[in-house]
Structure 1
């Protein structure tokens, strides 16, 4: 059964890798670099101003660690047909679930390392912790996560719901005690509590495996929910079979859409505008990129950084809106419209220009706020609107012509 899990895991990972190349594309990497760079610069400057008198430091670190413990879930990779075809192998499923547990321990370790690494400069500033303490903190968090994953075996078995909730509460209390002990007493104190938590949960899980039968329906349902969350995240970057964006009425924007004159020349403009407002694909992308830009710019006060981030985010927003041009090519009714492709191009150009102008105004206001030199602010504002002009008059029409040729 261990080999069966490995084969299923291999197919699962191959499938995810095909999607991840769309998630971690050049634009996402570029945005992430600016975001991390801006955060790192701000965080570095902030830590230099803190010392042991900053009483919120340890509670903030404890909150970050506790949140990190909830990342990563037990990956059983169960499928709906398993409740029929694997039922005769129920007694052998122990080896399968143990293999799932070992695999599920790997990914959370990276998140825990990241959480501990981010919090360590702050911890050094407020508590003078050492590299040895860092290693102990990571080990403590990993042991707490190991006991948390063991606790997630409970829904896989037919058991009393009250007992399962009681074990969840015990794990949470022990995790809080371990984190608080490590921050306020000694790093080894937290590690000791984490070891106790793992021993308690291991004993309870061992008893569950020996005395309880599998709850196939619940186990499969939990795995389906886990995969649904993963696919919903991937769906923000590319289409995933079986996952579609939600369409909402959004009456709030009816007043804006009604300002579009009801003429044949504006057919595509209304269609693209209504689709943008009601759909989640392009509007969600627009909102996310805009928020990323706002968050980064808030923490910057240098001319070149503000200029580069503003121009890059605006370009990325415009670039990500280009596929909107072919959004309705699959619909037969659009082929019956007595309108040519020039009307489509004009509509997309008008909508993209409006969206970029909205972002340009927001970034311009932020530049006026964050930059101490107003001349620098004016230069950033001028560069923003020149970029929007060049993008919508030269680059976008050229890209749309290339799309038509293909």
Structure 2
């Protein structure tokens, strides 16, 4: 079964790598660089204002570490057919699931290392300890995550929801005690207690698993939910066959469509606007990007960082909306419309312009609320308006021409 998991993992990684080239494109990397740079600068400025032995530092770090320990779910890679075809191999599934735990640990390991390191300056300010104590803290976090994954494996067996909740509560309570001892008593003590907790969980859960059978339905459903979350993230950047867009009536938005004059000149504009408002693919993407950009801008106080982030998010929103141009290419009737093809391009450009002005207006309000100097806010708003016009008049036609080539 170990080799069977390796085969599935190879196929899974090959599929994920195909999508990753769309996710980690130049635009996304550029946005991440600006966001991380801006947040890092803001974080460093805040740390300079904190007093030595900052009282709230340790509680904040404790809660932060507990939250990031939740990142990462066991990747069983289970499939629907396993409930029938792999069922006879259940006695050997322990080897399969142990290999799943080992694979599932790598992503949380990287996240814990990065976010744990990010929180270390606050730990140093709050405790007065040296930065070298990071070694003890990161070992503690790694061990706690191992026990968390081991517990997730146990929940794949036929146990009651009440028992699963009791075990997760026990894990959360013991993890709270371990992190508290490391922050308030001694960093090395946290590593030792984390090791004891992990060994105890492995010993007790190994004993309990011998008396129960796998819940195949639960395992398959949890894997489906895990993959659905991954596909939802990838769907922000490219089309994913595993994510099917839904259509809703949304009668309350009909007044917006009534603003479009129903003439032959607006055929495609009405069609695209109706698709955007009633479909979930592009409207959901638009709302999510606006929310993320809005939250980030609300907490930025520096003029240049706020300008860079707002400009990048407007560009990113517009860039993700352009593919709506091909939304109806598969429909035969649209090719029979007695309207010129140039009307499609004009309709997409108009729709993108309107939506970008809406996003720019929201960002403008948040920028004015966040920046202490209102003149700086007005300058950013002017830049955003110019960007929207240039994007719609120059970049959109260029991209559409390239899509048709």
**How many residue pairs are counted as aligned between the two chains?**
405
Contact 1:174-1:193 at 8 Å conserved across structures:
no
**CA RMSD of superposed structures (Å):** 2.4
Residue 240 of structure 2 corresponds to 240
Q: Closer, same or farther in 2 for the Cα pair 1:371/1:333, shift >3 Å?
A: same
Which runs of structure 2 are paired with 1:3-402 in the superposition (5 Å)?
3-52=3-52, 54-366=54-366, 368=368, 376-402=376-402
TM-score by length of 1: 0.91
Deviates more, 1:373-382 or 1:114-123: 373-382
**Which stretch has the larger CA shift, 255-264 or 285-294?**
285-294
Q: Which moved more, 1:87-96 or 1:13-22?
A: 87-96
Q: TM-score, normalised by structure 2?
A: 0.91
Unaligned runs of 5+ in 1: none
352-361 or 117-126: which moved more? 352-361
Return closer, same or farther for 1:303/1:227 CA change in 2, 3 Å cut-off.
closer
Q: Tell whether the 8 Å contact from 2:53 to 2:127 is kept in structure 1 after alignment.
A: no
- Greater shift, 180-189 or 38-47, is seen at 180-189
- Structure 2 contact 143–195 (Cα < 8 Å) conserved: yes
Distance 1:143 1:106 in 2: 13
Note the alpha carbon deviations across 1:52-88, whole angstroms, 9 max, x for none: 4643222221111111111111112222222333233
Residue 303 of structure 1 deviates from its aligned partner by: 4.5
Contact 2:23 2:234 in 1 (8 A): yes
Question: How far off its partner does 1:95 sit?
Answer: 1.9
| Alpha-carbon distance change, 60 to 217 in structure 1, aligned in 2, over 3 angstroms | same
Change beyond 3 A, Cα 1:252–1:60? farther
Aligned partner of residue 83 in structure 2, secondary structure: helix
Structure 2 SS opposite 1:156: coil
Query: Aligned equivalents of 2:322 and 2:73: distance in 1?
Result: 36
2:53–2:125: 8 Å Cα contact kept in structure 1? no
CA contact (8 A) 1:74 1:152 kept: yes
**CA, structure 1 residues 256+133, in 2 after alignment: closer, same or farther (shift >3 Å)?**
same
Contact 1:273 1:351 in 2 (8 A): yes
Counterpart CA distance in 2 for 1:202 and 1:260 is 64
Displacement of 1:331 in angstroms is 1.3
Listed as ranges, the gaps of 5+ residues in structure 2 are none
C-alpha spacing 1:7/1:340, structure 2 compared with 1 (3 Å): same
Retained in 2: the 8 A contact 1:94–1:209? no
Higher mean C-alpha deviation, range 137-146 or range 46-55:
46-55
1:212-267 CA-partner distances (Å, limit 9, x unpaired): 33222222222222222222222222222232133333333222222222222222
Q: How has the CA–CA distance of structure 1 residues 354 and 168 changed in structure 2, closer, same or farther, with 3 Å as cutoff?
A: same
Residues 315-359 of structure 1: CA distance to partner in whole angstroms, max 9, x if unpaired? 332222211111111112212222121222221111111122223
Q: Does the 8 Å contact 1:39/1:299 carry over to 2?
A: no
